[in-house]
Amino acid sequence: MKMVEDLKRKPLFVLAVILLLSSAQAGNANRTSWHQCADFQTANFLHGSKLNVQFLLFTSSNPSCGELILADDDIEDTSFNSSLETKIIIHGFRALGTKPSWIEGLVRAILHTSHVNVIAVDWVHGSTGAYHSAVDNVTQLALSISHFISKLLALGVSGTSIHIIGVSLGAHVAGLVGHFHSGQLGRITGLDPAGPKYTRASLEERLDPGDALFVEAIHTDADNFGIRIPVGHIDYFVNGGKDQPGCPRFISAGLLEQAGVSMRRLPKEVIVYLMTSPSAPFCVHHSLVEFRLQKKRNVVTSIEITFYSNSTKDTAKITIPQQEEVGKRLLAHKVPLCEINIVMLKYLPKNRFWRKDESHIVGKFCAAPLPLNKNRTMFCLPWNITLYGNTDVSYQLSAACA
C-alpha cells in the first residue's frame, strides 16, 4: 500500500515505468526513437591509424540518422530488418582522414527509391595516409565485412539479397568480400574501381565477375586513378570512362534492378559506353544516328547533326571514311527521341587550297533510340536528301514513342 501511495506522489516515475515496460514489449520496433545518431570517424592523416571498422545502419524510417553497429554487437538488437534487401556501401582511400562527402547523398538516394537496409562501412582510420597503407588494410577489412555478413546470414538473410556497392578502392574490397563468400552474394557494384596496384593484380586480389552472381562496374576516371580494364559481367564506360562533362560528384544510376540485365544467363566482360550531360541530372537519352551516302567518295565525309526540341539543342558529328557508304554516331540528347521536333543537317566539306571538295552530297538519314529492340527500330526520313556545303538543312522528325 505504501508503494502505491509513493507512486501516486511521483507521476513522473510512473510515466517512466510505463514507458520502460512498453519499450520492452515493443522490442526492436521502437528502437529507432531511442538510439543516438552516429557518424563517420575522422583520422589523423599525418600519422595514420590502425584499422578501426564500424558499421552504420540507415533505414527508410530514419534515412539521415546512422545507427552504430560495432563488429561484436548483436544485430538482432538493432533496427536491421532481416526480411528486406541489404545494400552495403564501402568507401575508398581517404588521404586526409575525412568522411566521404558523397555518402549521405547516396544513402538518401537509395532509401528514396527502395525500402531496404543500407549499411555504410566506415573504415576511415584504415584508409588514411599513404595509398599503399590503405591497400595493405584491404584484406583485413574484407575479412571484417565478411564476418559481419556471416552474422546477417545466420539471422536468415538471403545471400542473394545482399548488394555491395564499393567505391574506388572499396570496389576491390567488395570483390574480396564476395570471394570469401564463394561468389554467392547477390550483387556487387564497383563505382570507379581503383587502378593503382590493381590493373595487373590477379583475379583473387581484385574485383572480377566471379565475386558475385552479378558484378557490374561504372568507370568514370580511367585516365587517372580508375582501372582501365573490365572487371565485371558488365562494365559501363561513361563518356569513354575518362573526363566527365561538368565533373559530376557522383553517378548512382547503374544501381537499379541489375541495370535491366537478366540474372539467368549473365554475359562476361561486356563493355558498355554511354554519355552524360554536363549538368544535373546528368542522365541523357541515347540515339544511334546514321547517314548513308548515295555513292561512295574518295575522301572522308563529315556531317553535323543537331536535334531540336521545344527547349533543347544537342549536336554530334558523323564521319564517313573514304570509300565507305555509311557513317554512324551516338548522339546524346536530353529528351526522348519522340520529343525531338527538328533535325538539322550540315555537310562539312574539306576544302584545301590544292583541292576543292564536292559542293554537295546526297544520302539518307536515319535515327533510332537505344537500346534497339522489337519496339525500338530505326526511323528514317522517307526520301534521299541533298546537303550543300556548310549549309543548314532542317527536317521535321515524327518518331513514335515506344
- Work out the number of other CB atoms within 10 angstroms of the CB of residue 374: 6
pLDDT at 74: 77
User: 396 pLDDT exceeds 70?
Assistant: yes
Pair type for strands 117-122 and 86-90: parallel
Domain boundary assignment for the chain: 35-274, 285-396
pLDDT at 275: 76
In percent, how much of the chain has pLDDT > 90? 50
Name which CATH class applies to 35-274: alpha beta
Count of residues in the chain: 402
pLDDT digits (tens, 9 = 90+) for 198-218: 988 999 999 999 999 999 999
Helix (H) or strand (E) holding 189: strand 187-191
When pLDDT is cut at 50, 70 and 90, the band that residue 190 belongs to is very high
When pLDDT is cut at 50, 70 and 90, the band that residue 16 belongs to is very low
HSE, side-chain direction, 13 A CA sphere, residue 305: 26
* Average pLDDT value for the chain: 82
Q: Please name the residues in contact with 95: beta carbons below 8 A apart, sequence gap of 6 or more.
A: 45, 128, 129, 131
- Cell numbers linked to 111: 532509401
Q: What is the DSSP string of 290-303?
A: EEEESS--SS-EEE
Please, what is the angle between helix 169-180 and helix 138-154, to 10°? 50
Q: Which residue has the cell 554475359?
A: 267
3-state secondary structure of 41: coil
- Cell numbers linked to 166: 564499393
User: 48 pLDDT exceeds 80?
Assistant: no
pLDDT at 265: 56
Q: Please name the residues in contact with 221: beta carbons below 8 A apart, sequence gap of 6 or more.
A: 192, 241, 242, 244
In percent, how much of the chain has pLDDT > 70? 81
pLDDT at 20: 32
Residue type, 32: T
Q: How far apart are CA 237 and CA 271, in angstroms?
A: 7
Q: Please name the residues in contact with 328: beta carbons below 8 A apart, sequence gap of 6 or more.
A: 288, 289, 290, 318
pLDDT at 337: 87
Q: Please name the residues in contact with 133: beta carbons below 8 A apart, sequence gap of 6 or more.
A: 48
Q: How far apart are CA 158 and CA 380, in angstroms?
A: 49
Q: Please name the residues in contact with 360: beta carbons below 8 A apart, sequence gap of 6 or more.
A: 347, 386, 387, 388, 389
pLDDT digits (tens, 9 = 90+) for 110-154: 999 899 999 999 999 999 888 998 999 999 999 999 999 999 999
The CATH superfamily label for domain 285-396 reads PLAT/LH2 domain (2.60.60.20)
Residue 211, phi-psi category: left (phi > 0), alpha (psi -120 to 50), beta (remainder) = alpha
Q: How far apart are CA 344 and CA 367, in angstroms?
A: 13
Q: How far apart are CA 231 and CA 268, in angstroms?
A: 9
Q: Do the domains 35-274 and 285-396 sit in the same CATH topology, yes or no?
A: no
